[in-house]
């Protein structure tokens, strides 16, 4: 008989693994789970509620922000801002760091998030998600956090994960003790443990990349993708292309089935703090890998809040092979 466990019970057990735990971490994740339930409810109503379409607002990256992005951003800020567990936040949708509201208690955690990733998919009913990354405050003193607290390497995350609003709503998270998935039962309003200790296959059969960008790819990426398309006998297995254009969805599928997702250089599009780092922690905890092609994502020292990085993420052997293409390109350039 399989056990029934709620996310709350699971988080509580995870917190007990930290010596000297105070319950703050459980409270923070509980607030995050609440925000996700509210966002999920709104996403599910999106087709009905006549709230689709784009606002006149443009986000930090010059992209149009849809109303649900704003809603998700505000929901998380309201739920976490007053929870008393954080000292500073940062979001893909805010240009600057987000201070805690006046009069609210300051805590020891730092939350960074992408409130609604893949939002261009909202009005075609494809899956989208919320990504989160949690660090401990490192700046001196109690009280408000600062930019320094946000610009920490991913290897220092204490927890990371995502919510995916798909055929069902799921939460996938890690505190550094494996990766666990929970599915929301809407009738109960509870996330129930559905995927315990997720392990991603060492090698996959799927590659996910925006092929329309081929002209912009760097040379190793072009060579690698050509290689994947070669005859099965050349590269060992047939690869299928699967690309939704919603990072959480592409990542989640590849995590479960095995595969490689690429948003390559030279510049990349995805953000280190809100997308690459949290998913890198998840994938490594599941036995996979995340790289820029030449460096491990979790080792990167962030330089700015909205820094973009090339992101190659997924099954360990696939990512290692891509890195090998990058190494060979560098060696050839040095000849
Ligand atoms: P967003 O954070 O503005 O939604 O953009 C990020 C999204 C990712 O979900 C996805 O992987 C990528 O952009 C797709 O980009 P492209 O349309 O260039 O392939
Ligand atoms: Mg995003």
Of the residues 73, 93, 119, 120, which should be mutated to test ligand 1's pocket, given the most ligand atoms within 8 Å of the CB? 120
- The full length of the chain comes to 335
How far apart are alpha carbons 108 and 243 in whole angstroms? 38
233 with 191, same domain: the answer is no
The alpha carbon of 335 and the centre of ligand 1 are apart by a number of angstroms equal to 36
CATH at 77: 3.30.540.10
116 with 55, same domain: the answer is yes
Q: Is 128 helix (H, G, I), strand (E, B) or coil?
A: strand
168 with 79, same domain: the answer is yes
- Nearest listed ligand to the Cα of residue 121: 1
Question: What pLDDT is attached to residue 224?
Answer: 96
The alpha carbon of 244 and the centre of ligand 1 are apart by a number of angstroms equal to 9
- Domain assignment present for 254: yes
pLDDT band at residue 267 under the 50/70/90 scheme? confident
172 with 126, same domain: the answer is yes
pLDDT band at residue 176 under the 50/70/90 scheme? very high
pLDDT at 35 over 70: yes
182 with 252, same domain: the answer is no
The alpha carbon of 248 and the centre of ligand 2 are apart by a number of angstroms equal to 9
pLDDT digits (tens, 9 = 90+) for 142-162: 899 999 999 999 999 999 999
98 with 132, same domain: the answer is yes
CA count, 13 A, side-chain hemisphere, 27? 14
How far apart are alpha carbons 221 and 31 in whole angstroms? 40
- Domain assignment present for 285: yes
Which of 150, 168, 195 marks a domain boundary?
A: 195
pLDDT band at residue 236 under the 50/70/90 scheme? confident
280 with 152, same domain: the answer is no
Q: 260-263 and 206-208 as β-strands: parallel, antiparallel, unpaired?
A: parallel
- Domain assignment present for 201: no
Greatest CA span in the chain, whole angstroms?
65
Of the residues 246, 308, 310, which should be mutated to test ligand 1's pocket, given the most ligand atoms within 8 Å of the CB? 246
Mean local confidence (pLDDT), 31-49: 87
Question: What pLDDT is attached to residue 142?
Answer: 83
CATH at 212: 3.40.190.80
Which of 195, 218, 240 marks a domain boundary?
A: 195
CA dihedral 206, 207, 209, 213 (to 10 degrees): -130
Mean local confidence (pLDDT), 66-94: 92
- Average pLDDT value for the chain: 91
- Nearest listed ligand to the Cα of residue 248: 1
Residue 298 belongs to domain spanning: 206-334
176 with 242, same domain: the answer is no
- Domain assignment present for 1: no
The alpha carbon of 227 and the centre of ligand 2 are apart by a number of angstroms equal to 29
Q: Ligand 1: which residue has its CA nearest to atom 4?
A: 118
- Domain assignment present for 319: yes
- Nearest atom, ligand 1, residue 118 CA: 4
161 with 214, same domain: the answer is no
Question: What pLDDT is attached to residue 50?
Answer: 52
pLDDT at 21 over 80: no
CB within 6 Å of ligand 1 — which residues? 63, 92, 114, 117-119, 210, 245-247, 269
Q: How many domains does the chain have?
A: 2
> What global pTM score does this model have?
0.93
173 with 123, same domain: the answer is yes
How far apart are alpha carbons 127 and 149 in whole angstroms? 31
The alpha carbon of 305 and the centre of ligand 2 are apart by a number of angstroms equal to 13
211 with 181, same domain: the answer is no
pLDDT band at residue 49 under the 50/70/90 scheme? low
pLDDT band at residue 170 under the 50/70/90 scheme? very high
The alpha carbon of 234 and the centre of ligand 1 are apart by a number of angstroms equal to 31
- Domain assignment present for 2: no
Question: What pLDDT is attached to residue 274?
Answer: 98
Residues 6+ apart with CB under 8 A from 101: 81, 82
- Nearest listed ligand to the Cα of residue 209: 1
Q: How far is CA 332 from CA 220, 257, 265, 323, in A?
A: 11, 34, 18, 14
Q: Ligand 1: which residue has its CA nearest to atom 15?
A: 245
Mean local confidence (pLDDT), 254-282: 96
How far apart are alpha carbons 70 and 87 in whole angstroms? 22
Which of 176, 195, 214 marks a domain boundary?
A: 195
25 with 157, same domain: the answer is yes
pLDDT band at residue 51 under the 50/70/90 scheme? very low
- Domain assignment present for 290: yes
Residue indicated by tokens 């919320």: 130
Mean local confidence (pLDDT), 320-334: 90
- Higher confidence at residue 44 or residue 176? 176
CA count, 13 A, side-chain hemisphere, 188? 11
- Domain assignment present for 94: yes
């Amino acid at each position: 008989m399989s056990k029934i466990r709620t996310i709350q019970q699971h988080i509580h057990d995870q917190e007990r693994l930290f010596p000297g735990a105070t319950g703050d971490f459980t409270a923070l994740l509980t607030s995050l789970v609440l925000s996700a339930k509210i966002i999920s409810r709104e996403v599910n109503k999106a087709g009905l509620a006549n709230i689709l379409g784009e606002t006149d607002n443009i986000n930090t990256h010059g992209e149009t922000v849809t109303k649900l992005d704003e809603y998700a951003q505000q929901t998380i800020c309201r739920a976490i801002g007053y929870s008393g567990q954080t000292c500073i936040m940062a979001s893909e949708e805010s240009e600057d760091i987000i201070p805690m509201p006046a009069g609210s208690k300051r805590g020891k955690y730092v939350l960074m998030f992408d409130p609604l990733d893949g939002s261009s998919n909202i009005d075609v009913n494809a899956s989208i998600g919320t990504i989160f990354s949690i660090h401990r405050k490192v700046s001196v003193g109690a009280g408000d956090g600062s930019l320094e607290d946000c610009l920490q390497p991913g290897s220092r995350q204490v927890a990371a994960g995502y919510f995916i609003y798909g055929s069902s709503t799921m939460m996938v998270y890690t505190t550094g003790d494996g990766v666990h998935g929970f599915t929301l039962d809407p009738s109960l309003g509870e996330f129930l443990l559905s995927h315990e200790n997720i392990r991603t296959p060492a090698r996959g059969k799927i590659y996910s990349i925006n092929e329309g960008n081929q002209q912009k790819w760097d040379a190793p990426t072009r060579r690698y993708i050509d290689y994947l398309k070669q005859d099965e006998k050349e590269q060992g297995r047939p690869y299928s292309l699967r690309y939704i254009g919603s990072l959480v969805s592409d990542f989640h599928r590849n995590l479960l089935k095995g595969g490689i997702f690429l948003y390559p250089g030279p510049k990349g599009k995805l953000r280190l703090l809100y997308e690459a780092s949290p998913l890198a922690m998840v994938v490594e905890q599941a036995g996979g890998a995340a790289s820029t092609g030449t460096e491990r994502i979790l080792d990167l020292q962030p330089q700015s809040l909205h820094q973009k990085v090339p992101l190659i993420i997924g099954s360990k052997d696939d990512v290692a092979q891509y890195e090998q293409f990058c190494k060979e390109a560098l060696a050839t350039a040095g000849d």
